[in-house]
Structure 1
């Protein structure tokens, strides 16, 4: 005779796995579209008459807006609980990418590029909240790790699509139009996912039990750690600039370094996702380590050492985004999760913007200055982690006596 409660748990687990895979597939296709376009938007804007300064301004503004808006969209998701509507609206703005094929001026292309980044800001908090419910029964780290791995597969395939289009046609328009095919796939997968689990919150029956970040005393140290950890994490455009400026490798090989880093991030997302389920937020301590290792290796003049730095950078991406999202899901109640996701994403993006700007300026001074900056910032990140760990112990003790800080 079967156990009804066991059958119910198994059904919930099966639905959760299906939802994670469907959202992972949607992210794979969406990442294919966005990263395919982003791999060539710089030269495309130059082709349309924009200057290098315009390229930098558009890229910087797009990324900043894409992260800063997440605080507002996360708050809306948290209040309205319209997860699917918001997520699908955000993915819908990917339609800006195929339209780049008919952008006759760089100003029009700039509007479309920024619109796609706004779409990212709209969909991310809603999508991550849906995933947080689905990962309850399969493991937070593993669920987010699988999703991140699928997302990164799209990040590798997208640029290859554009390379093939350029090689065959010599122009960008065909590539942008080809990206409309996976965009149609995104819509179909999302509709299937919504019909499969129309109310994702039901997958997390208890509504989330931990409230470590639902109060300001628990959130501040976490936000400080994320800010410092990300402010010391170099971006790949600066690494690729170094590779070209110092003539370390041929230009055509640089995308292969990036692709290799993305492949590493796929594997690392799965491995460290599973590690998160075993040791929890201690996985976050590897972030300062990989940030420091990356900066020590990636700016070498030796091609072998430089690629090792690029691979360390890819590993850091896989760890950061997997453990960050899993730790939020593990440490917040469902009612506040959308808002926390949005706020943390805004902190993440602001830190990356600030850190990238600082390291870009320091590169013109000396690589040694960048190394010193990263070492200091990541040491501060470790101190912030210890602050965060202590605050969580305090919150749990207070929970035990029924005196949780409001």
Structure 2
């Protein structure tokens, strides 16, 4: 397609407005990495202390687990709607910008919350913003990554993403040490505004991200379009979804782990976001390594994920500070593998024209499993740490059992 043409795109309903992408695919990936890093500065800064903050408003471990698990479920399940919307409209930019705006408004408002229910609405609202933007953002990143290597491109974006996820909690830690949680939330308005500015600049420089993949496809034999129903995806897609659901069912949100640190006074309150920052730093390193592995052997590299996730409760629910830090490292490594390889895999497991829907369906499964698992871990924590350790071990053993047949049948992408 001549990018200066005003003719409609043959692969979607939206008309091409004649503007060219002025960025190379790699520069687009790096630009979105900056946006994602600023976004993570905001919401990961908040999430690093949300468990202890909810505890100060009277929340129990069960309430923290349910609220944060519900937030993750909203962030993922609502993509069943926003994913197909991105596919139908072929206009990812307005959807992406709206999603970032919702998150960037909700987080600083936590500084003004006085009651538990108010904070709960904002926690879930912040995650709803992620549900709005993620499928559209994912389709843009998938198009740009076509010529770069899926694992490499998504790993680079995740690493830049996590740079903000390290800085944000450290800034919040400083604010909590100086003046408490409310100042920590309020200061996050600054990087939020910066994210919206960079996003607007990026949109002007690359108005048609789908062109990256469409141009590349013209130089090779493109596969025939797939027109299956919403649920008609490959066996590899569903097998990977089941494996991921079982893994996340035995994977607590950091808010539940941080709640433990607050109520048991394992470490000072201002150090809790520092623990999260360490986890996010490990996340970035693990994402780069996992992306490199994915481009070489596909999703088979994730066979180590249940082995990483299984010991997390024994470490993170300890009252030994050294074990707490070890738990943060392992938790961060597992998240890094999920966050980078998951997005790369879906781009390969579903047809390009249904990629937003694929992201939506997969992450709905992921989110419901994480909601159930977080609620269960929170409830079992009230019974005993041993119960949470056993529950997690069983869930990860089931995940490993579900993954092995996929490897043996070679039904996952290489």
Q: TM-score range by the shorter chain?
A: 0.7 to 0.9
**2:17 paired residue number:** none
Which of the numbers 321, 324, 333 marks the counterpart of 2:351? 333
Q: 1:290 to 1:57 in 2, by over 3 A?
A: closer
- 1:63 lines up with 2:72 in the alignment: yes
- State the distance in 2 between where 1:341 and 1:136 align: 17
Select which of 203, 206, 213 maps to 2:212: 203
Per-residue CA deviation, residues 99-158 of structure 1 (Å, 9 max, x unaligned), is 444556665554444322211110111111111111111111111111111112212222
Q: Is the 8 A contact 1:362 1:369 kept in 2?
A: yes
What count of residue pairs does the alignment treat as equivalent?
A: 383
- Please state how far the C-alpha of 1:174 moved relative to its aligned partner: 4.6
Could you tell me how far apart the structure 2 residues matched to 1:91 and 1:354 are? 26
Match of 1:374 in 2: 392
Give 5+ residue unaligned stretches, structure 2. 1-19
Is 1:154 the counterpart of 2:154 in the alignment?
no
Q: Which residue of 1 aligns with 2:306?
A: 288
Aligned to 1:7: none
Match of 1:17 among 5, 10, 26: 26
TM score, norm. by length of structure 1? 0.83
Q: 1:87: which partner in 2?
A: 96
What is the alpha-carbon distance in structure 1 between the residues aligned to residue 113 and residue 392 of structure 2?
40
Q: Which of these residues, 135, 139, 144, is aligned with residue 134 of structure 1?
A: 144
RMSD: 3.2
Deviation per CA, 1:246-285, whole angstroms, max 9, x where unpaired? 5544444433322211111111111211111111111221
Question: For the structure 1 residues 259 and 394, does the alpha-carbon distance in structure 2 shift closer, same or farther, using more than 3 Å as the test?
Answer: closer
The superposition leaves residues 67-114 of structure 1 with CA deviations (integer Å, 9 ceiling, x where unpaired) of 221111112112222211111110111223334445566655544443
More helix by share: 1
Structure 1, unpaired ranges of 5+: 1-10, 397-406
Compute the TM-score of the two structures, normalised by the length of structure 2: 0.81
SS at match of 1:145: helix
Contact preservation (8 Å) 1:217, 1:391: no
Runs of 4+ in 1 over 6 A off after TM superposition: 11-14, 210-213
Structure 1 residues 21, 228: CA separation in 2 closer, same or farther (over 3 Å shift)? same
Would you say 1:239 and 2:251 are equivalent positions? Answer: no
Q: Which residue of 2 aligns with 1:144?
A: 154
